Amino acid sequence: MAAVDTATIRVLIVDNHELLRTTLAIDLNQYAGLEVVGLAANGEEAIAQTEALLPDVILMDLQMPVMDGFTASKQIKRDYPKIYIIAYTSLDDPQIEVIAQSVPVDQVCYKDTKTEVLVQLIRQARDSQCSENQG
């Protein structure tokens, strides 16, 4: 069996705002060990990109047209339970973390979070995946 390269974390960004997707991809690709492998504008695209690219981590907007991030996350986690999903939201609802607990996401992150903090969350995702695989 071939060894898996755990040095690079493959990230899929899902957000209906093109400028945010593109800017975030540029930012994340500047960090060693991160590679943005795909961009999606809605939940349907996220599912298709997940099937095609098998990312390690998905940054998933929750509010999008066509298919929202809640619905897409449920389907992705059902089909690919080891992919780590970070709900990436601008919802300013104090109940968002309670809402997110009803959806199979691994983490909730607000869009006003500093890039360095988001990178730490992505790296923690890889670390938790590695721990699960060893245990």
Q: All domains of the chain, ordered by start, with CATH?
A: 9-123 (3.40.50.2300)
- pLDDT at position 48 is 98
- pLDDT at position 51 is 97
Of 58-67, 79-88, 97-106, 125-134, which range is least confident? 125-134
Instruction: Please give the residue that has the higher pLDDT: either 88 or 115.
Output: 115
CB 89 within 8 A of CB 110: yes
**Whole-number mean pLDDT of the chain?**
85
In this predicted model, what pLDDT tens digit does every residue of 74-111 receive, in sequence order? 999 999 999 999 988 776 666 666 666 667 788 888 88
- pLDDT at position 86 is 92
Q: Average pLDDT, stretch 25-35?
A: 95
Whole-model pTM? Answer: 0.85
Q: Average pLDDT, stretch 11-35?
A: 95
Report whether pLDDT(132) > 60: no
Query: pLDDT tier at 30 (50, 70, 90 boundaries)?
Result: very high
Q: Cite the DSSP H helix spans in the chain.
A: 18-29, 43-53, 69-79, 96-101, 115-134
Per-residue CA distances from 48 to 14, 33, 44, 120, 132 (Å): 11, 24, 6, 26, 26
